[in-house]
Amino acid sequence: MRSFFSRIRVSRIFLLSVTFLTFVIFFISTIFSTFIYNNTKQQLIESLYIQAKAIDKLVPELNALPLSNYDAIANKLDIEGTNEEKLRVTIIDKNWTVVGDSFIPSEKLSDIEIHSPETRVEIKNALLNSYGTATRISETTGEELIYVAILRDPNDQTKGLIRVALPFNYYTSIFNFFIYPFVILLILVIASSSFLSFNVQTDLRKNLDSLLRNTQKALKGKRITESLGKKDTQIGSIADAVNDISIRLNSEIQQTVEQRKEFGNVLDNVNQGVIIFNKNFKVRFSNDIALEMFGKHQFFLNEKIKSKKLIKINKLLKSTKDNLSAESELSVKLSGEDRNFLLSATKMETTNEYILVINDISSLRKLEELRKQFVTDISHEIKTPISVIRANSETLSSTGAIKDPKLAEKFLNSILNNSERLSAMLDDLLELEKIEFGGLVLNRKKFNVYDQIDLILESQQALADVNNIIITNYIDKNISLKVDKDSFTTIFSNLINNSIKYSRKDGNVAIKALQNKDALIISITDKGLGIEKQYLNKVFNRFYRTPKARANTKGTGLGLSLVKQLASRMNAEAEVESKIGKGTTVFVTFPT
């Protein structure tokens, strides 16, 4: 008996260690239980939000069916989860009345109170944010539920709301996945500690204490300096091994952390999208550029690419599996815009992973299309004056018409007119190319708008006098503008010239300006024949001239295109309005 109690006295360290370990276990359990609660709850809320959005797409608008049909729809959408928990689906109309609930029979819907922002927190929050959520005990089921509510149309509350809910078994989760294993671990620790404390010699316990301290130092990356008292050969060897392992492990961990950090920084800063897949074609890593290229929620980490738009990537990876590398082009429509990507995939034989490098070549494709269209347009437009010049020259040379003064004058006038047209066309084209490829340098200066328009009118007055057209400048003499003066002059020289050419004889042209705090709008109105509605959206295209313009006036079809490009370079906008038989008005809006 005395020997037993002496053992108990010797094992006081055991009692202290058990007490300390118990405290640590409960401290950790408290931290983890809080983490599990918050994490589980947040994941459930996010899952409910996604399900609410999906259900919203499946439920017809409230005006599409009789209200009595929506309860049947809600009942069909109450999905059963893995724990035999059913998703509660509630449909609420614009008057905050429940028109469908998967947990409540149809005949009892009328007994439910109004689900308004004043009575339901989740509905109140849904009006302020993208979704609203609340946790409470349901009066219907008696269970604690997490509710998530969304507006069917964030801009229109009259289209009603969708609300979903699921039970949240927090205590069951904590017990099954945390408390129960910790209790078992605590019992095992106490049992094993009891056995060792009553059977290990004092010197062995001291050596173990020293080894423990040395191990703790090793875990912190410190070199072991404490020697064991009565050194046990095996324990000493273990201590030396722990020291060596700690040195190597810390060195490798530090190196790995630095490499991963550098690798991530490099991939995030390159101008190419990079996605890394594992051997099963699941996404392991994606840099920010790749997410921006394809848009968020098109693919997810640790999942295969399932988006129909990007399914071609999976085919490319399968080809890479056999050939080690492969390339392909991908054309998709993202946010209403056509995008083109060059995909280059490579297989890493050492890890059986795949690296996909993505280059956005949309601008290159657009440039190619523009160049093709430009070549087509210019070939067509230049061909006509060249053909006329050649035909007239051949006629003068081969038929002897050059000896007839009247015929010679006719053919020479035709050659001269088409030469001038060709020269004007080339000048306008060179100006357009200079604008589009950044060759135009803007020099912003402040000037008086009325005076500058008057200078332009003086240069156009001779043409106006020929057609007996009166041009009136109604612009306020105190209005000034700070833009590139040369570009301003080119824009309004073209517009005023057009207004004279396309006005009826003895007509008039009015130039006006409207200024507000954000912009200056200058308009030029003529009383000409007008432009048909179907042609209004084409008049700013290169070489485009309406049928009436081609029949009645000369021109290259580049003037308004030049106006549009110059206005765009100055952050201005050019627009046109017209009515047949009443005339045309061109508006140029300059930001101020």
pLDDT in tens, 430-448: 666 656 555 556 778 899 9
Mean pLDDT of 372-388: 61
pLDDT at residue 84 greater than cutoff 70: no
Position 481 scores a pLDDT of: 92
Give mean pLDDT, residues 234-244.
67
What is the DSSP secondary structure assignment for residue 178, as one 8-state letter?
I
Please give the pLDDT value at position 524.
92
Average pLDDT, the chain: 76
* Average pLDDT score over residue span 279-307: 79
What percent of the chain is modeled with pLDDT above 90?
A: 8
Identify the pLDDT of residue 7: 45
| CA 563/CA 588 separation, integer angstroms | 9
Per-residue confidence band for 451, with pLDDT thresholds at 50, 70 and 90: very high
Look at residue 523 and tell me whether its pLDDT is greater than 70.
Answer: yes
pLDDT band at 544 (very low <50, low <70, confident <90, very high): low
Residue of 481 and 538 predicted with greater confidence: 481
Look at the block and give the residue holding tokens 């920010």.
Answer: 288
The tokens for 369 are 């299309």
Residue 426 confidence (pLDDT): 66
Between 547 and 580, the more confident residue is 580
Closest CA to 565 of 439, 474, 385, 478: 439
Highest mean pLDDT of the ranges 257-261, 356-360, 377-381, 390-394:
356-360
Return the higher-pLDDT residue of 129 and 28: 129
Taking residues 216-221, what's their average pLDDT?
63
As given in the structure block, the two tokens for residue 527 are 């009383």
Q: Higher confidence at residue 29 or residue 148?
A: 148
Question: How much is the pLDDT for 19?
Answer: 73
Give the pLDDT score at 5.
Answer: 42
Strands, E, within 292-379: which ranges?
325-334, 337-348, 353-360
Region 262-268 average pLDDT? 59
Q: Which residue has the higher pLDDT, 131 or 440?
A: 131
CA atoms within a 13 Å half-sphere pointing along the CA-CB vector of 105? 2
Predicted local confidence at residue 10, as pLDDT: 45
Name, in order, each residue with C-beta under 8 angstroms of 543's C-beta and a sequence gap of 6 or more.
Answer: 377, 378, 380, 381, 556, 557, 558, 561
For residue 133, name the pLDDT band (cuts at 50, 70, 90).
Answer: very high
pLDDT over 90 (residue 474): yes
